[in-house]
Amino acid sequence: MAKLPNQVFRKFFPQWYRKLLNHPKYRMVFILGSLIYLLSPVDISPDVFPVVGWIDDGLVATLLMGEVSQLIVERKKMRSQKKKEAEQGKGQDIDVDGVTLDSDS
């Protein structure tokens, strides 16, 4: 029975968090919600208790920073890849034959 909370916090919660951040429709809402949760005095475990109160904030902050930095790295890679593809496509010449159309028909 002790394995269930461990599995929830190690597997389910990070995967759920990652899916929400990767969904473009909910990304900004979830990032803002996470920041509000971190700044809010209302927590799952109150910050009044040392260490125990900081665990949930630390988990949310770590996941948020990790996922946001991963999104930034992925976007940079996509931009550089698109830039390389555009540069490779610039040097290609396209040969086009001219055709006249007769409008008397």
How far is the C-alpha of 62 from the C-alpha of 56, rounded, in Å? 10
pLDDT digits (tens, 9 = 90+) for 56-100: 888 888 888 888 888 899 889 999 998 888 777 665 667 777 778
Between CA 2 and CA 51 the distance in angstroms is: 21
Domain boundaries, the chain: 11-78
Q: Would you state the pLDDT for residue 5?
A: 61
pTM: 0.58
d(CA 46, CA 53): 5
Task: State residue 10's pLDDT score.
Answer: 67
How is residue 93 written in tokens? 């010449």
Query: What is the rounded average pLDDT of the residues 38-51?
Result: 77
Which pLDDT score is estimated for 13? 73
